[in-house]
């Protein structure tokens, strides 16, 4: 797909994300999908903010990051409780950790969810540093929240929690550790946190990275969680855009190869081989993450192919779904999810953001 042919989708994506953003700064995961409507995830939102920031938006991602900061600061008391309990060797139970998703107003919401996830608290720090550097935004506006978030992550990064997909709370997930490494490195390197806290963030990031490389690698590639040899498409994010794994390394090459061989069909990327959600389809946003990993390693041709596939999943109205039908891993599960939550989330703002992000990456490389 040429740049000219892609332009309408990029414009639609940019307009959709900014127009659906709540006045308070939060990005709804999807405006219509029953299980997501009215909620904002720190993880998804951070990648959405990074996507529109890479497309040239300044006000919208800044507003989202302001929202994140406000939510974190409003949770000062529970954060301090978590940190103190961890320091005393008596960690609080999972249900007392911070939620992974919030209402547009920044509250926890009334619906039950698989809530304890640490990845989003790393990704919002990373997105803040990326946005500030890209557009010359004064990162100190988020310092108080950054300090609280760093303290929270340093106290708890070794704990098992749910992964990107709200699954397997009993495991320590490598993609979660990667998000934490990226966030701690970004907070310290950008000046979001300073002094002894920055030193601690650097040390914590390296300790988490040591766990990844010593316990989260099998057959030369990083793994879905510690102690398995399975792969997960979220691992591509550790190469690009998070940059946790050096793109020129053998670890990056082996990880990309494993995802390509085990999770990619005709340009579409599955989450993991055992996926049954909506029958286990391929996700446009994951094709873009894999494309970003390829772009970081210098394979812009393959990155372009993956972007083309993701773009072709758009509806005639230019809306990108969460996942697509066809080549399903577990087709007999599809109707069960449709009966439970309705059709696949369309649009999914995260999908639109990742198309923007990969397109911006390739534009920079080809400039």
Provide the CATH number for the domain around residue 273: 1.50.10.10
Domain that holds residue 170: 3-366
- Active centre residues (catalytic): 163, 166, 322
Residue 308: its pLDDT value, please? 97
Structure confidence at residue 2 as a pLDDT band (50, 70, 90): low
Lowest-confidence pick of 81-90, 106-115, 174-183, 303-312: 106-115
In this predicted structure, the answer to whether residue 364 has a pLDDT above a threshold of 80 is no
Lowest-confidence pick of 81-85, 105-109, 173-177, 255-259: 105-109
In this predicted structure, the answer to whether residue 1 has a pLDDT above a threshold of 80 is no
Tell me the mean pLDDT in the region 265-294: 98
Tell me the mean pLDDT in the region 328-336: 97
Residue 4: its pLDDT value, please? 63
Q: What is the pLDDT of residues 175-223, one digit of tens each?
A: 999 999 999 999 999 999 999 999 999 999 999 999 999 999 999 999 9
Residue 125: its pLDDT value, please? 98
Q: What is the pLDDT of residues 9-22, one digit of tens each?
A: 999 999 999 999 99
Structure confidence at residue 367 as a pLDDT band (50, 70, 90): low
User: Residue 138 CB: number of other CB atoms within 10 A?
Assistant: 9
User: Residue 1 CB: number of other CB atoms within 10 A?
Assistant: 15
Tell me the mean pLDDT in the region 268-279: 98
Q: How many domains does the chain have?
A: 1
Tell me the mean pLDDT in the region 84-105: 96
In this predicted structure, the answer to whether residue 224 has a pLDDT above a threshold of 60 is yes
Q: What is the pLDDT of residues 118-148, one digit of tens each?
A: 999 999 999 999 999 999 999 999 999 999 9
Q: What is the three-class DSSP state of 62? A: helix
Residue 115: its pLDDT value, please? 87
Structure confidence at residue 110 as a pLDDT band (50, 70, 90): confident
In this predicted structure, the answer to whether residue 318 has a pLDDT above a threshold of 60 is yes
Residues 6 or more apart in contact with residue 201 via CB below 8 angstroms: 150, 154, 184, 185, 187, 188, 193
pLDDT above 90 covers a percentage of the chain that reads 95
- Using an 8 Å Cβ cutoff, are 277 and 331 in contact? no
In this predicted structure, the answer to whether residue 242 has a pLDDT above a threshold of 90 is yes
Reported pTM: 0.97
Residue 111: its pLDDT value, please? 80
Residue 108: its pLDDT value, please? 87
Show the tokens assigned to 341: 């939550």
- The stretches of 139-236 forming alpha helices (DSSP H) are 143-156, 174-190, 195-215
In this predicted structure, the answer to whether residue 29 has a pLDDT above a threshold of 70 is yes
Residue 109: its pLDDT value, please? 80
In this predicted structure, the answer to whether residue 365 has a pLDDT above a threshold of 70 is no
Residue 3: its pLDDT value, please? 59
Query: Phi/psi at 320 (nearest 5 deg)?
Result: -100, 135
User: Distance between CA atoms of 268 and 12, rounded to whole angstroms?
Assistant: 21
What is the distance in angstroms between the CA of the first residue and the CA of the last residue of the chain? 17
Tell me the mean pLDDT in the region 29-51: 96
The count of residues in the chain is: 367
């Amino acid at each position: 797909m040429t740049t000219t042919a892609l332009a309408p989708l990029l414009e639609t994506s940019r307009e959709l994300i900014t127009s659906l953003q709540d006045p308070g700064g939060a990005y709804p995961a999807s405006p219509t999908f029953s299980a997501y409507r009215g909620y904002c995830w720190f993880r998804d939102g951070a990648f959405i903010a990074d996507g529109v920031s890479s497309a040239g938006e300044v006000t919208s991602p800044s507003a989202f990051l302001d929202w994140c900061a406000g939510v974190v600061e409003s949770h000062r008391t529970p954060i301090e409780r978590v940190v103190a309990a961890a320091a005393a060797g008596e960690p609080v139970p999972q249900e007392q950790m911070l939620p992974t998703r919030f209402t547009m107003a920044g509250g926890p919401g009334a619906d039950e969810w698989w809530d304890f996830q640490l990845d989003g608290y790393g990704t919002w720090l990373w997105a803040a540093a990326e946005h500030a550097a890209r557009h010359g935004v004064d990162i100190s506006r988020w310092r108080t929240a950054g300090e609280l978030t760093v303290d929270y992550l340093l106290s708890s990064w070794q704990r098992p929690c749910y992964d990107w997909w709200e699954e397997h709370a009993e495991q320590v997930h490598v993609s979660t550790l990667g998000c934490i490494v990226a966030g701690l490195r970004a907070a310290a390197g950008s000046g979001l946190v300073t002094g002894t806290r920055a030193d601690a963030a650097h040390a914590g990031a390296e300790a988490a990275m040591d766990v990844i490389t010593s316990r989260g690698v099998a057959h030369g590639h990083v793994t879905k969680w510690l102690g398995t040899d399975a792969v997960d498409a979220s691992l591509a994010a550790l190469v690009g855009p998070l940059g946790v794994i050096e793109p020129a390394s053998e670890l990056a090459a082996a990880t990309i190869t494993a995802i390509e061989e085990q999770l990619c069909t005709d340009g579409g990327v599955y989450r993991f081989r055992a996926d049954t959600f909506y029958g286990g389809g391929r996700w446009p946003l994951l094709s873009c993450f894999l494309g970003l990993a390829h772009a970081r390693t210098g394979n812009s041709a393959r990155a372009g192919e993956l972007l083309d596939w993701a773009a072709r999943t758009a509806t005639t109205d230019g809306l990108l779904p969460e996942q697509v039908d066809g080549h399903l891993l577990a087709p007999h599960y599809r109707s069960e999810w449709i009966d439970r939550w309705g059709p696949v989330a369309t649009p999914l703002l995260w999908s639109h953001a990742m198309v923007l992000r990969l397109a911006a990456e390739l534009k920079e490389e080809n400039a």
